[in-house]
Amino acid sequence: MAKILMKGNEAIAESAVRAGGLLYFGYPITPQSEIAEYLAHRMPEVGGVFLQIESEVAVANVLYGAAGAGARVWTSSSSPGISLMMEAVSYIAAAELPCVIVNIVRCGPGLGGILPSQGDYFQAVKGGGHGDYRCLVLAPCSVQEAVDLMPLAFDRADRYRNPVIVIGDGMIGQMMEPVEFTEQQFPPLPPKDWATTGCQGRKPNVINSLYLDPVEEEKLNFKLAAKYEQMKKNEVRYEKFRTDRELECLLVAYGTTARVCKTAIQRLDDEGIPTGLLRPITLFPFPEEAIYELSQRARFLLSVEMSTGQMVEDVRLAVGRSKPVYFYGRAGGMVPSPEEVVDAVKRYLAGGDR
Amino acid sequence: MQIETVFAGFGGQGVMLAGRVLAEVGMKLGKEVVWLPSYGPEMRGGTANCVVIIADEPIASPIIAHPRDTVVMNRPSLEKFCPAQKPGGYAIVNSSLINIRPDRDDIRVVEVPANEVAIEAGSGKAANMVMLGAYVGVTGIVPVEAVIEQIKEEFQAKAKLIPLNITCVERGYDIGRAAAGYCV
Amino acid sequence: MKVIFRRPESLSVTPTHYCPGCTHGIIHRLIAEVIDELGLREKAVGIAPVGCSVLAFNYFNFDFQQAAHGRAPAVATGIKRARPDLIVFTYQGDGDLASIGMSEIIHAANRGEKFTVVFINNAIYGMTGGQMAPTTMPGQVTTTSPRGRDVNDVGYPIRMCELLSSLRTPAFIERVAVHNPKQVINARRALKQAFIYQRDRVCFTFVEFLSTCPTNWGMSPVQATRWLEENMMPYYPVKNFKTPEFTEGQNAD
Ligand SMILES: Cc1ncc(C[n+]2csc(CCOP(=O)(O)OP(=O)(O)O)c2C)c(N)n1
Ligand code: SF4
């Protein structure tokens, strides 16, 4: 199929439709409203459901209901809206229901602004809502990768019976790049025999997250924990860029920031400062092993983010005290430029700012 | 090779569309492309701009602090973007609305009376296409025929507008070609 | 010399960011005039919503708080319960008030919170670029109802005045318009009445303004006015819905 030029938001919507994400519920918010607007005309064409709901609080609970009834269901929003969904996401994780949530992150806290940011890292990877749970978190760095990750997101949500978050900064949503939609094959999924589809011919199913008996609740907690361990074993995804050599510095960055780092690396090469990049594609599970391994051939690591320092904490956990880990970030809708990353690397090389 | 071009002007001048046409053409020629809009609360009335990147290799950073070229349709855009251009780049300046020139001697400036040309061709609204044509004429970044093909596709639903837009691209192109030899 | 037109003290000197033909500006001015006239500026606290009027705090010359999307009535409740002597009003669009904030507005009204709500009904989401609102008219095309609002799928537009009037708690509830001078005079009267009831600690007060959004309706300001008259006014009647039994000055300090 020929490539088509598409805006990230619309490409995400189309990819979800092709992956069978035919139930979408949402509430408008910049910079991702194009997803809903695209689906408002696309869903009727494919016999799917598009519905604008009164709030993100309600959207996430609609997801809970639809997922509990066995549907492949998803939503999208941006940071303030995602915060409102956190209540239900905790219930969804507890009741082990599959759904996909796209967060086109804007800058915060509070109402913040509508420009790109990576300030929702903690919320996405550390649970976000109350209680002891995790979401699988996928972080594309291009429109094509966003398209490619949507079918995976739906598959993994169903396979693990867990919410999957696809996180992109505002730029991923707004930018146009050529994309190709290719069909992905996945092994067959187990039947959703737990769903509330009507109990004809079987015992009633209950979707629930209330466990007053501590023995039962702890059982659930450890069951979920075991599931997250499975994700850590099987789902870690990352890209290595120019790491097949001895490095002065290993950059760690995801999403658009990783692309900025690639340009910085080319410039650093010109100046004879070999630098590499590890780009996490899954933020949970985090590619700790890969980062640790690569860190051993670098003098130091630099986490580059559109935040005041969130992922850097996980990078530090990954390398322990074996190597220094520094941070460079811009926030508030400002995007780090390749020049700034080059300067930051040189500054730490020279021993400054330590 | 990688060329970055900023298209900038008032909201409503069609800079986003001009940039998108170029990006579409680049893609169809098999290049790597990115089209990145500025997006902000000033969707209307304020300034609008987009960056188009056309490259032979995969595009790393889509964020461009120093574009090679600019296509500026109003004065605030010239003041904002021309100072950031890389030396040796091109600035296509809409002289219908801008009465200053970029204060630089290391970029090549082409003045295009885009509004006048477009009005003469039938509607001032197509000034963006005059600018696009001129840019293609000066730089040869893509063949003008491919731009014309793209315009036919872009305006499929409003076929009435196709001849006007093609005429504007062609007139802009001629101005660009003529300037290509001597622009400094 | 008699001054016949001057900037109300309650308005600041900042130019607004509203589009040409948008009614937000007129309504700001009416609020400022009424607050000046009642001498309430130094006790006033406004609450800005999330919507096109999110920057309202820049345009008024008195205290303001900015609320999360839809939560202004809860914020106002907090202020008013902490400081009943303050004059508190929320300024909310139809997405903010009738969609995401429906719960907050109903419960504030039902508790009879003694603040004033200025409700801007422009039948669309302005700020986010023209999506369907709960008040969007049947058949009206928006970016999320590209084939027009289908009442069989998403129901009929919500009439907030009618809905809130059904609550038993006493209140002042009125719908007004501002698209011609006669309507503006009437709107000013209703708004002033609302602030008087608040000042005198009588009841919850709610004034709905039928408004235009030429930008997202895709119309010129003149066309927008006509569209409002022909489509919104028959469905959203301009009138008083509820008045408390009370005589002015009864509870005055
Ligand atoms: C929790 C949350 N969800 C969504 C948004 C995005 N948002 C900003 S304004 C708005 C609606 C504005 O419409 P309305 O209240 O009708 O006011 P208008 O702009 O028309 O004046 C929305 C949905 C947000 N800021 N926060
Ligand atoms: S978008 Fe609509 S509501 Fe917002 S300022 Fe413009 S006209 Fe007014």
Read off the pLDDT of residues C125-158 as tens digits, 9 standing for 90 and up.
999 999 999 999 999 999 999 999 999 999 999 9
Confidence of residue B44 (pLDDT cuts 50, 70, 90): very low
With respect to residue C225, please indicate whether it lies within any of the assigned structural domains.
yes
Atom 6 (ligand 2) nearest CA = C19
d(CA C190, CA C196): 10
Q: Amino acid identity, residue A37?
A: E
Our count of domains for chain A comes to: 2
Atom 4 (ligand 1) nearest CA = A29
Strand partners, C38: none
For the CA atoms of A281, A285, A288, A289, the dihedral, rounded to the nearest 10 degrees, stands at -90
Strands C240-242 and C171-177, sheet pairing: antiparallel
Our count of domains for chain B comes to: 1
Our count of domains for chain C comes to: 1
Confidence of residue C46 (pLDDT cuts 50, 70, 90): very high
Atom 1 (ligand 2) nearest CA = C126
* Cβ proximity of C59 and C50 under 8 Å: no
Query: pLDDT at residue A239 above 50?
Result: yes
C201 Cα distance to chain centroid: 20
Domain end, chosen from A203, A234, A265, is at A234
Of A27, A37, A40, the CB nearest to C100: A27
User: Looking at the structure, do residues A9 and A134 belong to the same domain, yes or no?
Assistant: yes
Confidence of residue A351 (pLDDT cuts 50, 70, 90): confident
With respect to residue C59, please indicate whether it lies within any of the assigned structural domains.
yes
Domain end, chosen from A204, A234, A264, is at A234
Q: Amino acid identity, residue B93?
A: V
Residue among C27, C122, C210 whose CB has most ligand 2 atoms within 8 A, to mutate: C122
Of B35, B40, B60, the CB nearest to A175: B35
Of A177, A178, A335, the CB nearest to B63: A335
Ligand closest to Cα of C218 equals 2
With respect to residue C9, please indicate whether it lies within any of the assigned structural domains.
no
User: Looking at the structure, do residues A178 and A243 belong to the same domain, yes or no?
Assistant: no
| Residue C52: predicted pLDDT | 95
- Summary mean pLDDT of chain B: 93
CATH code, A272: 3.40.50.920
With respect to residue C18, please indicate whether it lies within any of the assigned structural domains.
no
User: In angstroms, what is the span from residue C31 Cα to ligand 1's centroid?
Assistant: 22
User: In angstroms, what is the span from residue A171 Cα to ligand 1's centroid?
Assistant: 21
C215 lines ligand 2 (CB under 6 A): yes
Strand partners, A275: A249
With respect to residue A354, please indicate whether it lies within any of the assigned structural domains.
no
Strand segments, DSSP code E, in B63-168 are: 69-72, 90-94, 108-112
CATH code, C221: 3.40.50.970
Strands A275-280 and A247-252, sheet pairing: parallel
User: Looking at the structure, do residues A318 and A342 belong to the same domain, yes or no?
Assistant: yes
- Taking an 8 Å cut-off on Cβ atoms, the answer to whether A171 and B35 are in contact is no
d(CA B89, CA B184): 10
pLDDT digits (tens, 9 = 90+) for C189-224: 999 999 999 999 999 999 999 999 999 999 999 999
With respect to residue A121, please indicate whether it lies within any of the assigned structural domains.
yes
With respect to residue C54, please indicate whether it lies within any of the assigned structural domains.
yes
- Taking an 8 Å cut-off on Cβ atoms, the answer to whether C127 and B41 are in contact is yes
User: Looking at the structure, do residues A60 and A158 belong to the same domain, yes or no?
Assistant: yes
Q: Amino acid identity, residue A101?
A: I
pLDDT digits (tens, 9 = 90+) for A196-233: 999 999 999 999 999 999 999 999 999 999 999 999 99
Evaluated on CA atoms C53, C58, C61, C66, the torsion sign reads positive
Element (H, E) at A251: strand A247-252
Whether B54 contacts chain A with CB within 8 A: no
- C→A contacts (Cβ < 8 Å), by residue, are 50, 54, 66, 68-70, 95, 99-100, 102, 125, 127-129, 131-132, 134, 143-147, 153-154
Strands A176-179 and B47-55, sheet pairing: unpaired
Atom 5 (ligand 2) nearest CA = C18
d(CA A169, CA A166): 10
CATH code, A110: 3.40.50.970
> Domain limits at B70?
2-183
* Cβ proximity of C132 and C154 under 8 Å: yes
Confidence of residue C3 (pLDDT cuts 50, 70, 90): low
Strand segments, DSSP code E, in chain B are: 2-10, 32-37, 47-55, 69-72, 90-94, 108-112
> Domain limits at A321?
238-349
- Which range is least confidently modeled, A254-263, B33-42, C109-118? B33-42
Neighbours of chain A (3+ CB pairs under 8 A): B, C
Percent of chain A at pLDDT above 70?
A: 99
> Domain limits at C140?
24-242
- Read off the tokens for A118: 């990576």
Closest CA to B108 of B182, B178, B49: B182
pLDDT digits (tens, 9 = 90+) for A118-130: 999 999 999 999 9
* Cβ proximity of A255 and A139 under 8 Å: yes
With respect to residue C215, please indicate whether it lies within any of the assigned structural domains.
yes
Which residue pairs, CB below 8 angstroms and at least 24 apart, start in B124-127? B125/B14, B126/B14, B126/B161, B126/B164, B126/B165, B126/B168, B127/B13, B127/B14, B127/B73, B127/B94, B127/B96, B127/B168
| Residue A203: predicted pLDDT | 97
With respect to residue C109, please indicate whether it lies within any of the assigned structural domains.
yes
User: Looking at the structure, do residues A76 and A203 belong to the same domain, yes or no?
Assistant: yes
d(CA B176, CA B172): 6
d(CA B91, CA B79): 12
Once rounded to an integer, what is the mean pLDDT over residues C152-170? Answer: 98
CATH code, B47: 3.40.920.10
Enter the DSSP assignment of C246: -
Q: pTM for this one?
A: 0.94
Confidence of residue B11 (pLDDT cuts 50, 70, 90): confident
- Taking an 8 Å cut-off on Cβ atoms, the answer to whether A52 and C70 are in contact is no
* Cβ proximity of C52 and C8 under 8 Å: no
- Taking an 8 Å cut-off on Cβ atoms, the answer to whether C17 and B41 are in contact is yes
d(CA A136, CA A286): 10
Residue among C22, C50, C103, C132 whose CB has most ligand 1 atoms within 8 A, to mutate: C50
Query: pLDDT at residue A299 above 80?
Result: yes
- Taking an 8 Å cut-off on Cβ atoms, the answer to whether B60 and A5 are in contact is no
User: Looking at the structure, do residues A60 and A131 belong to the same domain, yes or no?
Assistant: yes
Query: pLDDT at residue C89 above 90?
Result: yes
| Residue C82: predicted pLDDT | 96
User: Looking at the structure, do residues A310 and A201 belong to the same domain, yes or no?
Assistant: no
